[in-house]
Structure 1
């Protein structure tokens, strides 16, 4: 059996869980590919508005640079910065916890200009700026986590790289004050159950356009 980069001899993959994740991941990614641009824009704006309302000046948010298919408006990063929030964004460093760069500092240095980006190793844009180290996640008051699905227990389906699971596991060793972990989703990506194993770290909150920011399993707002 081929092991993922986050496997280890004392934590073997469960083939049935791995297969179930891959099948569900393919279905959800295909659904996202078929969203209309209008739907993506509306969903991204709504989720950004919910998250902006939840952030406070003087706090630190670990965000991410969303792919075009992801349900988040990337302008949220600048909105938060303008409101006095420190925003960190991830840098992929292989089979290891995520590194981080300071989006807010880069924005202040660049003014209104375009921030320098580079293509990351998994095809996702990253900020071309100094790195703060994986431990920077411990400074966060809120961590936004990309997700394809979440269930009422907070089990999250990601894209399969394991980067966030490693990061969230590291966070648990760095601080007792674990910040809220927020999965960013479309409304139809909150599922009754998501396949998971002991390597998967549950999220504590989720945000959807119609449901807003809430704990997994809570009734949708409105």
Structure 2
């Protein structure tokens, strides 16, 4: 991982604003095509997984719930997150009815399984605005996934932590701080799967 810098917040905020603006400029057709391509890569990567932590994507993200439906149909248990303030993510089984959560993001309204439920996952799909070539990830700034990935690292279990990106979002360097957690791989529509550890 990159060398953490004392105060990465200004650099992260600038990069985050640039990346969010670029995503807003993408057409619906471009987003849908990216999501289809990412789903094809992820179906291959996740074949045989027994449990996967996914997420309910924003319209601007390069993922759709079709992938989660495919995994469930293939016999995989899928968990999706619920945001808890200043805490690791909680989880619910998918599919489940959803409603807008505290941040306006769709969240499941089914029974909560607790933050520890993710420790059973073979893979965790992680939303990201960018990832660099060491696996350092830039999210939206809430820290929820960093707290969850830190919790998972305590279980010493080998699992895929997969950032889901558009093409052009795998960068040379992403600014990082001491609490940031790296992913093990990333998926891009035309770039396919990039692995950051063997």
Instruction: Give the shorter-chain TM-score range.
Output: over 0.9
SS of 1:187 mapped into structure 2: coil
Give, in whole Å, the separation in 2 of the partners of 1:130 and 1:178: 27
Which secondary structure state, in structure 2, belongs to the residue aligned with residue 168 of structure 1? helix
Per the alignment, do residues 148 and 217 of structure 1 end up closer, same or farther by CA in structure 2, a change over 3 Å counting? Answer: farther
The answer on whether the counterparts of 2:185 and 2:197 sit within 8 Å (CA) in structure 1 is: no
- TM-score of the pair, normalised by structure 2: 0.94
TM-score scaled by structure 1?
0.84
Q: CA deviation at 1:91?
A: 0.4
2:187 to 207, 210, 216: 207
Superposed counterparts of 1:58-137, under 5 Å: 59-103=50-94, 107=95, 115-137=96-118
**Contact 1:57/1:84, CA 8 A, preserved across alignment:** no
Partners of 1:152 and 1:77 in 2: CA distance: 27
**Runs of 4+, deviation exceeding 2 Å:** none
On the 8 A contact 1:101/1:129 being kept in 2, the answer is yes
- State the SS of the aligned residue for 1:130: coil
Unaligned runs of 5+ in 2: none
Q: Determine the structure 2 residue equivalent to 1:166.
A: 147
- In the alignment, structure 1 residue 43 sits paired with structure 2 residue 34: yes
Aligned to 1:71, the other structure's residue is in SS state coil
SS, match of residue 180 in structure 2? coil
- Measured in 1, the distance between the counterparts of 2:133 and 2:197 equals 4
Deviation for aligned residue 1:198: 1.4
Structure 2: how far apart are the matches of 1:188 and 1:38?
Answer: 17
Residue 178 of structure 1: CA displacement?
3.5
> CA offsets, 1:173-201, max 9 Å, x none?
2x111411000001100111100011100
Superposed CA RMSD: 1.6
**1:48 alignment partner, SS class:** helix
Matches of 1:35 and 1:68, distance apart in 2: 11
SS in 1 for 2:162: strand
Query: RCO (CA 8 Å, sep 6+): is it higher in 1 or 2?
Result: 2
Structure ranking higher in strand proportion: 2
Q: Is residue 30 from structure 1 mapped to residue 21 from structure 2 by the alignment?
A: yes
Q: Which has the larger radius of gyration?
A: 1
Post-superposition offset of 1:217:
9.2
